[in-house]
């Protein structure tokens, strides 16, 4: 599924929930992960193992399975871009 990416830094219910998921997977408080936070390639703690954990946690939290083709740098660019993709898949 192709999702239009957004550079939005507006907090949504989805980005708030993603901040909680990121805090659980990567550590720190949810406030460390606002919508504009760059993810893929920007957070040293988001290595390949943590990415697998994050994908699993997102799938469980939002009740859907990410398609293998959707696991891209564009989708995981920021919290907002991941949130837009989650919304597109669950909306």
Distance CA(64)–CA(90), nearest Å, equals 7
In a domain? residue 5: no
* pLDDT of 3: 41
Residue 25 near residue 57 (C-beta atoms within 8 A)? yes
> Domain range spanning residue 61?
13-90
DSSP bridge partners of 78: 38
- Reported as a single tens digit per residue, the pLDDT across 38-86 is 998 899 999 999 999 999 999 999 999 999 999 999 999 999 999 999 9
* 3 domain residue, yes or no: no
pLDDT digits (tens, 9 = 90+) for 4-35: 444 467 899 999 999 999 999 999 999 999 99
Using CA atoms, how far apart are residues 26 and 48, in angstroms rounded to an integer? 12
Task: Give the number of domains in the chain.
Answer: 1
Give CA angle at 48 (45, 49), nearest 5°: 80
- Domain of 35, CATH number, reads 1.10.1200.10
Could you tell me if residue 6 is inside a domain?
Answer: no
Q: Does some domain include residue 4?
A: no
What's the pTM value of the predicted model, to 2 decimals?
Answer: 0.88
Average pLDDT, rounded, for the chain: 91
């Amino acid at each position: 599924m192709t999702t239009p990416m957004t550079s939005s830094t507006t907090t949504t219910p989805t980005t708030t929930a993603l901040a909680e998921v990121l805090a659980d997977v990567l550590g720190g408080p949810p406030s460390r992960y606002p919508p504009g936070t760059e993810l893929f390639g920007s957070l040293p703690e988001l290595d390949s193992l943590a990415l697998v954990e994050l994908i699993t946690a997102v799938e469980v939290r939002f009740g859907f399975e990410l398609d293998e083709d959707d696991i891209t740098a564009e989708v995981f660019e920021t919290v907002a871009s991941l949130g837009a993709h989650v919304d597109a898949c669950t909306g």
